[in-house]
Amino acid sequence: MKVPEIILICLLSTLKLVVTQERKDLSFFNWTDTTSPIDNSSWRWAPHCDMVGNDIIPFLSPASYCGRECHAAPTCTHFAWADFNSGTCWIKKGPLNEKPFFKLNNGYFCGYIPDRDPNLGDDFLTWMDTPVGTTGAKVRYAPHCDMVGNDVAILKIAGVNVDTCARECFANKVCTHFVISTTEGGKCWLKRGDVPTPTRTERVWAIAHCGFLLLQSGYGRHEFGAGSRTLNWVEGGDLKNVSYRWAENCDLSGNDIRNFLTKRENCGGECAQHKECTHFAWSTSFGGTCWIKRGSIPNHSIRTDSGYICGYVTFRKGEEQAREKEGGASRNIWIMWVVIGLLALAGVLSLTIFGLRQRSISKLLRGLDREEIDEFFLGRPELLARNTTMTNETVAFLPYDRAYEVDIGDIEYKADPIGSGNFSVVFLGLIKSRQQPVAVKCPLTTTDAVEFKALLLEIKIMLHIGQHENVVTLIGACTESIQQRKVYILLEYAKNGCMESYLRKRRPGCGEGLKSRYTNIDRKPEALIKEGDLIRWSYEIAKGMEFLASKSIVHADLATRNVLLDDKCTAKVSDFGLSRQLYGNTNYIKKTKAQLPWRWLALESLTRMEFSTESDVWSYGVTLWEIFTFAESPYPNHTWGKEFIDMLQSNGRLDKPRDANTAIYGLMKTCWEGDKSNRPSFSTLRGAMEKLLHTG
């Protein structure tokens, strides 16, 4: 090729490049207004268009997501997309570029958000206040917000939102603020210490929020605002040797000396008797727990839950001067309450509680939004695609199987309930077209949106579990009123009810032995419960729990009250109430103030709040003890407290039941090993029970 030809080709190539990069006025482009059907976000875009500069963040993205992400990011004013690396979106801030580049390539488009303020600063956040579930406390939160550092825990919560994360923060003893994101299916970061200055984040598919519990103090901490609660401090102690000040609805964090189980009225005295203790806190956790603390007294926080008190030592004999927590400000508050009187306090509290209750009620009664409904029915296929195997965590992302849907007109049930739980009530019902008896589980009218979503998650869990002869089966569901928080869960009907009631009603009399005793409820020979029945039920429960363990489901509430008997008296494990809260975590650290079934819980569950398949094995051992005592209450001579835990840690265990042979009691004791790694698996237990069943 001759030199002039080469020069000509280079000139033409340069001219073509200049033409493809030519700047044009906005009016040159063919603009289209678009609104997302998912969240009603809107933007304006045009093909063959590129806007450069002022990038907030570039990220890999399908073309359909780019405008939506710009709309979701508060500081984004315009954006550009190119088919670079299979699709890249640049979201941008500041004044709109009035002369975008014109691109001949079809793989480019750009756009902007009409009427968005280009001067919106990065420090701009929209704060909102909301109740924390039904606790009476409040939280302040903002979208596109992050708070770094001081992590207490990172929780994976499917479908996480502000309400669920705020509840976890409130239940945690030291959490003051939190951050949430829907990355990896949903994460909640619990954080401690002073609430830091938040930073701006821009959404890239995952929604980010941060928030903090609203606190009351005189040191620049966040407060409730107008009408905020002031603590009513009360003097305690003997005044001669030691005195302290305490108040209800109060909490103090940090610097623990130790904690122990005790009554509320004893906590201040325990602190007073410990020479290093300067302040203390008490809550209803585990029946009553006191924390005594040392060092400088931190800012107190308001807890609208009456299950909290806190206080501090004001005088101890032998010390040169009293230690005052609040100085002049606290004295002024005390004097103010004395002058105003108890009537004024009652009025302020009544108004505050009324306002919180009204806001809490409005939160309770909200229905599901479109995105929540779509997630239940359609699942999260983009998250499922990232996982090669099905696990507990990914079950929530499965779509609802509409083959299980039953028309409301095909369901008939009796008005009198046959059972109830925390969020639901159960009726005896019938699927008319099949003439099939079912147990119909419905949410209570007081069930809030978060609890209702937990019931929906229960459907997904039972769909994942499938059928097993020793686990209660999901028959169907009616979801046509899901947006109004109404759902009918149709379960296998167990005619003979729960095993606990069945055994107690048929508890033997005072005869010489099991084989010679008839039941109290029915003296007919065919009503006699034989030793083989007890062993068979033990075997069937082990089979059901072996199946649940194979599906990575932690039950966490195994007891005879949660085992049902069908018309043939086959045992079926039921009621995944606690496992629903533990769902998604094979070894989950439970953070809730709900009353736990302590008589059935493993040692690590009582001391460290750890729940696992191994802790289910411990509960199985207690369930065996129930079966062979005809549902007597375990540890009948004990009450919940530190002494009970000390007894277990000293290898104290339940005595051998009268109707259990040595081999069966030996299996019980292996289930109660202090080291959970030494406990048998459910497969081992099933095999041992099967051998006893066939040799008995």
Annotated binding site for ATP, which residues? 441
Q: How far apart are CA 228 and CA 52, in angstroms?
A: 49
DSSP assignment, residue 107? T
Give the residue ranges of DSSP H helices in 22-148.
63-72
SS3 427: strand
Angle value at C-alpha 223, between 221 and 225, nearest 5 degrees: 145
Give all strands of the β-sheet with 187-192 in edge-to-edge order: 128-131, 138-143, 208-213, 175-181, 187-192, 151-156
409: closest CA among 440, 425, 436, 431?
431
For 107-121, give one letter per residue: b (16+ CB within 10 A) or e. Answer: ebbbbbbeebeeeee
Angle value at C-alpha 23, between 17 and 24, nearest 5 degrees: 130
CA dist 268 to 297, 300, 308, 314, 315, Å? Answer: 15, 16, 13, 11, 12
179 Cβ contact list (under 8 Å, min separation 6): 145, 146, 147, 188, 189, 191, 208, 209, 210
As given in the structure block, the two tokens for residue 442 are 């419905």
157 Cβ contact list (under 8 Å, min separation 6): 164, 165, 168, 186, 187, 188, 584
Terminal-to-terminal C-alpha distance of the chain: 99
Q: What are phi and psi of 40, to 5 degrees?
A: 65, 20
As given in the structure block, the two tokens for residue 363 are 């939160």
For 178-217, give one letter per residue: b (16+ CB within 10 A) or e. Answer: bbbbbeebbbbbbbbeebeebebbbbbeebbbbbbbbbbe
Question: CB–CB of 605/615 below 8 Å?
Answer: yes
Question: CB–CB of 627/689 below 8 Å?
Answer: no
Question: CB–CB of 493/422 below 8 Å?
Answer: no
Annotated binding-site residues read 441
As given in the structure block, the two tokens for residue 368 are 């599901």
Q: How far apart are CA 43 and CA 51, in angstroms?
A: 15
Give the residue ranges of DSSP H helices in 155-236.
162-171
H/E stretch holding 484 reads none
141: closest CA among 175, 168, 169, 177?
177
Reported residue count of the chain is 696
Question: CB–CB of 627/664 below 8 Å?
Answer: no
As given in the structure block, the two tokens for residue 66 are 């780019």
Give the residue ranges of DSSP H helices in 497-571.
499-505, 531-550
Cα Rg of the chain, angstroms: 32
Q: How far apart are CA 256 and CA 322, in angstroms?
A: 21
Beta strands 42-47 and 49-50, pairing class = unpaired
Strand partners, 91: 57, 79
Q: How far apart are CA 664 and CA 658, in angstroms?
A: 11
Quick one: CA dihedral 634, 647, 279, 138, positive or negative? Answer: negative
672: closest CA among 626, 629, 617?
617
HSE toward the beta carbon, residue 546, CA cutoff 13 A? 18
